[in-house]
Amino acid sequence: MEVDPDGYNAINNDMMHGPCGDLNPQCPCMKQGKCSKHFPKKFNNQTTFDADGFPIYRKRNTATQVKKNNVLLDNRYVVPYNRNLIVKFDAHKNIELCNYLRSVKYLFKYINKGSDRATATIECTDTAELHDEIKRYLDCRYISATEAYRRIFKFDIHHREPAVERFPFHLEEKTP
């Protein structure tokens, strides 16, 4: 077996869930006596998929354990990870969440959401004061998420075709 000290340290520091379940019933992830994140996972010799298409990752029983909060944890408590990401960023990166089809729907829901609804009123005041139209325009300007991403990626906001198109015709008795 090949030893990967960087990967091992990243998993040990950032990717261990818990302890929870019987080892720590007071853990914040515990809901009605069970871990809401479904830990500890079961040992599996191969990756399979459940009825909903959710992956059940391979978790080998290697007898390797790490100590966290004075409790020994094994492979069943390792959160699914991408070795390159956790070593590079030295942070918790749960790749399991990226596998949901709902994640894609969630992402595109917000990209295509459109603007929020707002109510504006115009009130007349009797006081004679200077009206800064530019300031008023900027104060009322709203850029939705859709417009913002189109501007960031330099997509067209509107069509830039000529408003007038010349047609090749002429008046009677006149040549073009």
The mean pLDDT of 90-97, rounded to a whole number, is 77
Q: 13 lies in a domain?
A: yes
Q: 139 lies in a domain?
A: no
Interval 53-79: pLDDT, tens: 778 889 999 888 888 888 899 999 999
Q: Is the dihedral of CA 40, 44, 46, 51 positive or negative?
A: negative
Q: 146 lies in a domain?
A: no
| Nearest Cα residue to 66 out of 24, 14, 3, 22 | 14
Tell if the pTM clears 0.85, that is, is over it: no
Q: Which domain holds residue 27?
A: 5-106
- Specify the pLDDT at position 119: 64
* Number of domains within the chain: 1
Q: 129 lies in a domain?
A: no
Q: 31: helix, coil or strand?
A: strand
